[in-house]
Structures are given as C-alpha cells and as structure tokens.
Amino acid sequence: MSRFKSKRRSASGCPDLLRTNRTQRRTLLQAGSLACLGLGMTDLWNQARAESAAASPRAKPAKACIFLFMWGGPSQLDTFDMKPDAPEEVRGTFKPTSTKVPGIQICEHFTRLAQHTDKLAIIRSLSHDDPAHLSSGHATVTGQLAPVLKSDATPPSDKDSPHLGALVSKVRPNTTGVPSFVTLPWKAYHPAAPGGEAPGQHGGYLGSSYDGFLLTGDPNAPDWKPSDLSLPADISLDRLQSRYQLLQDLDKQRRGLASMAEGHQASKDLASHQVRALDLLTSPHVREAFDLSSEPEPVRDRYGRNTHGQSVLMARRLVEHGVPYVSVNWHNDGRNFWDTHGNNFNRLKDDLIPPADMALTALLEDLEQRNMLDETLVVWVGEFGRRPLITPANAGREHWPYCYSGLLAGGGIRGGTVYGKSDAQAAYPSENPVSPQDFGTTIVDALGIPIDLALPDREGRPHRVTSGKVIESLFG
C-alpha cells in the first residue's frame, strides 16, 4: 500500500531568512519583505523550481498545467472504475474494455484513450462528503475547501481560495506578454444552482488582478476570435495608446485623492487589468498564441470539431506559447454537462464520452510528439462522481461525492498506473482515499511550488497555499 508523504521545501536560496521555519516565512511574505531583499515572485518561482529539482529524485517540476474540468460530475462506474460483477442496477449497460496496459480496464466507449493508458495515472479513490456542485467545484479547482460547505447557493467572493491557476499567476508572473492563467470557454455555472457561478474560479483572497484571462465563446465556430483581443473598427492602436495615457493620468489624480485602503486596492486592481488588457491588444506574440486558425486542418480534426475539442487544442497552443496554466471547463451544452440525473447512459455514449475521449487522446499524442508531455501536467477530473444505483424512472444517476475517479498524465506522473481502490460497487474507497485537498496539493507540488508556502491576502493575513498531502507514488 502506498503512503502519503509531504515535502517541506524552501522557496528561496536565503537560508537564514526563508528556511528557518514557516512562521518566519509567513511573516516575511506578510510584510512584503521579498521586495526589500530584491526577491520578486519570479525569483521565488525560479528558486523553488531549482531547489525542488535538487531535493527530489523525481523529474524536474512541470512548466505548465492543462486542467480539464469535467463540470457536472462524471460517473466513476461508467468511465474509469467499472464494476462488471456488481448487480445490474449498479453497474449499468456499459462494458469494460482492456487497454494498452495489461490489467487496466476502462469503459468501452473510451476507444481512443484505451490505447494511451500507459501515459495515465488513474486515481480511483477520490473522496469527500460535499454533494453540492458549487462548493465541491471550489474544492476541485482550488485544492481547498470552500468558505461555505455543501452549498449550491453561495456565489464567488473574495473569501474564496484562489484558483490553482491564480496561484500560479501569483508566484509565476509571465514576462512574455501572454497571460499566466487562462480559462475557457466559459466560467462554470449551473442553471439549477441558486448561486449560479461556482466559487473559486478567480483570484479569491489574492485579489482580482489574479483572476486570469477568460476566453469565451465557441472556438469551433467558423467566425470565432478572442473578443478581448479585438479593437473596434474605428479605433487604431495609436488612438488606443492615447486613450490609455489619458486614463492613466486620471487614475493618478484619483489615487492622490483616495484616503481609504480599500479604494486604493481597488484602484490598483483596476490599473493592473488595464495594463494587461493593453498588453494583450498590442502584442503580436499574444495574438499569435490565440490564433487557432493557424493550426493545420488535420490537427483541428484530430481534436474534434466541437467546442470541447477546439478548447483543448487552444489549451495546447497556449501552453506552447508560454501560458503556464490553462483551465478548460466543460462547456455549456444546454443539457447540464456531466450532471446526468437522467438518461445517463445515452448522454455519456452519444454526447459526453466521444468528444472527451477524442480531445484527451489528441492532447496526449500531440504533447508527446512535440516533446512537451514531460513538462506539461494534464488533469482530467470532475467535482464528484455518481451514485452507484441507477434511478429506474429515468435511467439516471444522482450526485455521489464519496468515491469518484480522476486522471493525471505528463509532468513527471508515472503512467500506466492505478492509484487507490474502491469497494465492490465503487461507493467508497477501500484503499488510499484521496481528498480534493490531496489532489490539489499534488498538482501544486508537481508544478514546483512549495506546498508550505504562505501568501498574504489583501489585508496582509497569511494563507498557506495547500492543505493536503502529496501523493508521492504517482511520480516516477
């Protein structure tokens, strides 16, 4: 049985100041003393990566992460943890199929992915007790529990933990002009949830300047282009620069009149957004990164001519151009996404599994062919699983957070493995349970970020960036 191990890593090459203990490091970060030492967040990231590589026998930390969020909750029983010996009302109609790795079976409808399980670590023991989409979605994308648990009525707030992409944006600010964190093709909403938008999809307590770049729309549409990279027809770049300079002058005067700290912070966040927007509009490198039309037609076809497939292709393209974290949320299909309360098997077989299978397989193949897989962590997971009992009235499965599956690949992950085990009906973990906090901490660790790092919120209060354990046996 594998054991969890948690590594304590220094974020700096200054042993007397940052290696002494967690309290001193938190105090240092809280006081903003990194700048006094001439140590910016980019330095922090680079030194953390160097120390991680030196201290660990595993491969170098991943440079990037592509997080595929299967919003709605895929059924573990009908994807990667099939139970063919369970009663019919539990197992359903799908059959398991053998894969490239002897002894590993997955759902028969993942026909392409079955030939690439040598690249995958399948986790079959993810588990928590929160059946609500919104609060469990927060835990999935942040690796931290939501401020309000078991709630579909609590919208995003500045009390949320930052999205893992926002965390990367904080400790690894991009200097190439492209964003550090991109989400597409929308923020995850649920029409049946009173709170609407899932919390945890933004900068949270770090502030709105770390919200990330939201790339909306359907990239499979013939006329699609990133709206935030387009200027109105009557505004030239020179005119835009002139307007921006005027705006800067006005902001400077407003900041001079500001007397409240909250207003000053809001002004700084606004200025940060304005600078970023201008950089995006005026940078040829950025425009090239977001130009999906430059991809060859056979490549676009291989990912799938659908919203999810083209979003995943865009994620690969962005990572290739230097974006360190891209989150692809399962798109708004108008049919509740992977939330298959009814017609579970037809929805999976006809609408959900085929594009997911096609896109993930193409991504793994593409990254490997481009020699990018070892340095790119690929994540495929939902916020929970489905109940191991089919609802007779509508052939659906209800929410089930107590046991579900997720996938990791690339980025130092040891492929061809299964971690954890569920019971005979995939209802509860029987070996090595993995919490969303453990899952998130493992991602943070794979990216070379010290898991005991503490960052201050806007009031200067320190928050540790993880609260789980690293699943060490996944790496090899």
120-126/417-419 β-pairing:
parallel
**Is the per-residue pLDDT at 299 higher than 70?**
yes
Using CA atoms, how far apart are residues 136 and 145, in angstroms rounded to an integer? Answer: 8
**Is the per-residue pLDDT at 230 higher than 60?**
no
Provide the pLDDT for residue 60. Answer: 84
Provide the pLDDT for residue 285. Answer: 76
Please list the alpha-helical segments (H only) found in 217-289.
237-257, 261-282, 284-289
Number of Cβ within a 10 Å radius of residue 237: 11
**Is the per-residue pLDDT at 268 higher than 70?**
no
Q: Per-residue confidence at 419, pLDDT binned at 50, 70, 90?
A: very high
Percent share of the chain, pLDDT over 90: 70
Order of strands, sheet of 181-184, starting from the edge strand that comes earlier in the sequence: 213-214, 181-184, 325-329, 64-69, 376-381, 404-409, 120-126, 417-419
78 by DSSP, 3-state: which?
Answer: helix
More confident residue, 431 or 57: 431
Mean pLDDT of 116-143: 98
**Phi and psi torsions of 223, nearest 5°:** -100, 15
181-184/120-126 β-pairing:
unpaired
**Is the per-residue pLDDT at 12 higher than 50?**
no
E-strand ranges in 269-374 read: 325-329
Q: Per-residue confidence at 226, pLDDT binned at 50, 70, 90?
A: confident
Mean pLDDT of 205-221: 94
Residue found by looking up tokens 């950089």 in the block: 279
**Is the per-residue pLDDT at 297 higher than 90?**
yes
Using CA atoms, how far apart are residues 376 and 367, in angstroms rounded to an integer? Answer: 8
230 exposure class (CB count in 10 Å sphere: 0-12, 13-18, 19+): exposed
**pLDDT digits over 373-393, tens only?**
999 999 999 999 999 999 999
| The CATH classification of domain 15-226+290-474, taken from the options 3.40.720.10, 3.30.70.420, 1.20.1250.20, 3.10.690.10 | 3.40.720.10
**Is the per-residue pLDDT at 7 higher than 70?**
no
4-18, 19-33, 58-72, 296-310, range with greatest mean pLDDT? 296-310
Question: Looking at this protein, which amino acid is placed at residue 442?
Answer: T
Provide the pLDDT for residue 266. Answer: 52
Q: Per-residue confidence at 319, pLDDT binned at 50, 70, 90?
A: very high
Q: Which of 156-170, 269-283, 404-418 has the lowest mean pLDDT?
A: 269-283
**Is the per-residue pLDDT at 251 higher than 90?**
no
8 Å CB contact between 363 and 312: yes
**Is the per-residue pLDDT at 438 higher than 90?**
yes
Number of Cβ within a 10 Å radius of residue 199: 27
Q: Which long-range contacts (CB under 8 A, 24 or more apart) does 2-7 make?
A: 2/419, 2/432, 2/471, 2/472, 2/473, 3/472, 3/473, 4/438, 4/469, 4/470, 4/471, 4/472, 5/469, 5/470, 5/472, 6/441, 6/451, 6/469, 6/470, 7/55, 7/56, 7/445, 7/451, 7/470
Mean pLDDT of 394-402: 98
Mean pLDDT of 399-404: 98
Provide the pLDDT for residue 284. Answer: 75
Which tokens belong to 295?
Answer: 């991809």
Mean pLDDT, all residues of the chain: 85
How far is Cα of residue 298 from the mean position of the Cα atoms in its chain?
A: 27
Using CA atoms, how far apart are residues 316 and 330, in angstroms rounded to an integer? Answer: 16
Q: Which of 113-117, 131-135, 281-285, 350-354 has the lowest mean pLDDT?
A: 281-285
Task: Choose among 340, 273, 324: nearest CA to 447.
Answer: 324
Provide the pLDDT for residue 277. Answer: 53
Spell out a b/e string for 398-418, using b for 16 or more CB atoms within 10 Å of the CB, else e. Answer: bbbbbbbbbbbbbbbbbbbbb
Q: Which of 56-65, 183-192, 317-326 has the lowest mean pLDDT?
A: 56-65
87-91, 235-239, 258-262, range with greatest mean pLDDT? 87-91
Provide the pLDDT for residue 13. Answer: 35
Mean pLDDT of 260-282: 52
Using CA atoms, how far apart are residues 441 and 164, in angstroms rounded to an integer? Answer: 10
**Is the per-residue pLDDT at 88 higher than 50?**
yes
Q: Per-residue confidence at 261, pLDDT binned at 50, 70, 90?
A: very low
Task: Choose among 446, 369, 368: nearest CA to 413.
Answer: 446
Provide the pLDDT for residue 32. Answer: 40
**Phi and psi torsions of 35, nearest 5°:** -65, -35
Percent share of the chain, pLDDT over 70: 76
More confident residue, 35 or 446: 446
Can you give the residue ranges of every domain in the chain? 15-226+290-474
**Is the per-residue pLDDT at 233 higher than 60?**
no
156 by DSSP, 3-state: which?
Answer: coil
Q: Per-residue confidence at 406, pLDDT binned at 50, 70, 90?
A: very high
Using CA atoms, how far apart are residues 368 and 150, in angstroms rounded to an integer? Answer: 39
Sign of CA dihedral 232, 235, 240, 244: negative
**pLDDT digits over 25-83, tens only?**
443 343 343 433 334 555 655 665 565 555 555 668 999 999 999 999 999 999 999 99
Using CA atoms, how far apart are residues 421 and 431, in angstroms rounded to an integer? Answer: 5
Please list the alpha-helical segments (H only) found in 56-175.
88-91, 133-142, 164-171
E-strand ranges in 305-440 read: 325-329, 376-381, 385-386, 399-400, 404-409, 417-419, 421-422, 429-431
**pLDDT digits over 330-360, tens only?**
999 888 899 999 999 999 999 999 999 999 9
More confident residue, 29 or 265: 265
Which tokens belong to 202?
Answer: 């933004």
Provide the pLDDT for residue 427. Answer: 98
Task: Choose among 431, 33, 454: nearest CA to 205.
Answer: 454
Contacts for 403 with CB less than 8 Å, ≥ 6 apart:
76, 81, 124, 125, 126, 127, 385, 422, 423, 426, 427, 428, 429
Provide the pLDDT for residue 58. Answer: 66
Contacts for 263 with CB less than 8 Å, ≥ 6 apart:
none
